[in-house]
Amino acid sequence: MAKATGPTYKVPFRRRREGFTDYRKRLALIKSGLPRMVVRKSGRGIAVQFIVYSPKGDMVVASAMSASLRKYGWPPRRNAPTAYLTGLLGGKLAAKKGVSDFVLDIGMSTPSKGAIVFAALKGAIDGGLKTAYDKEMIREDAITGTCISNYAKLLKSGDKLEKRFSGYTKEGIDPERIGELFSSSKEQIERL
């Protein structure tokens, strides 16, 4: 019998084991040579960053958080309109820093039709940046908030409406008029 010359099993990197990084996808995105638009969802909001690869460590060129949308009149949530406005803000900031083309980095998120990451992508494109994408992955009615307002109109009864939209009503926002609020916030961001 021959002696073993090394281990027969290779332990994956820690971030891969924990489900945070897919190194094959990351390498493919870095090889493109373009800045990455990194979109991440948390329990409270959405973060959009434009990152350029450097051998010494990635450099963040521009960054936008959904919490910063309050100064533009939008109550940040974890939904498609918030993702769009965060992407729009991030796209405007990145364009000012000289970014024109980018690739989308969704990390470990599932790329499904109408996902929040694609709403952020549409925001960055409307912010003046360019990338290749599939138009079928973006739901326009979800981005503008018409889905939210239509659902609020459907729930006209006070008890159900209060339960579903308690966060909006606590801030004094009528969920049926979300589309108008979205338009005014978008105009403010576009003026940057």
pLDDT of 14-39, one tens digit each? 999 998 888 899 999 999 999 999 99
What CATH code is carried by the domain that includes residue 147? 3.30.420.100
Give a yes or no: residue 2 inside a domain.
no
Each residue's pLDDT tens digit, 90-139: 999 999 999 999 999 998 888 999 999 999 999 999 999 999 999 999 99
Give a yes or no: residue 159 inside a domain.
yes
Each residue's pLDDT tens digit, 54-82: 999 999 999 999 999 999 999 999 999 99
Report how far apart, in Å, the C-alpha atoms of 132 and of each of 40, 80, 115 are: 20, 20, 17
SS3 content of the chain, % helix, strand, coil (to 5): 50, 15, 40
Give a yes or no: residue 153 inside a domain.
yes
Report how far apart, in Å, the C-alpha atoms of 89 and of each of 39, 83, 154, 157 are: 13, 10, 31, 36
At residue 155, the pLDDT reads: 86
At residue 58, the pLDDT reads: 93
At residue 7, the pLDDT reads: 81
Give a yes or no: residue 138 inside a domain.
yes
Cα 83 to Cα 133: distance, rounded to the nearest angstrom: 17
Domain of 100, in residue numbers: 18-190
Give a yes or no: residue 1 inside a domain.
no
Tell me which DSSP letter residue 35 carries: P
Give a yes or no: residue 129 inside a domain.
yes
The total number of structural domains that make up the chain? 1
As a whole number, the mean pLDDT across the chain is 92
Give a yes or no: residue 178 inside a domain.
yes
Give a yes or no: residue 105 inside a domain.
yes
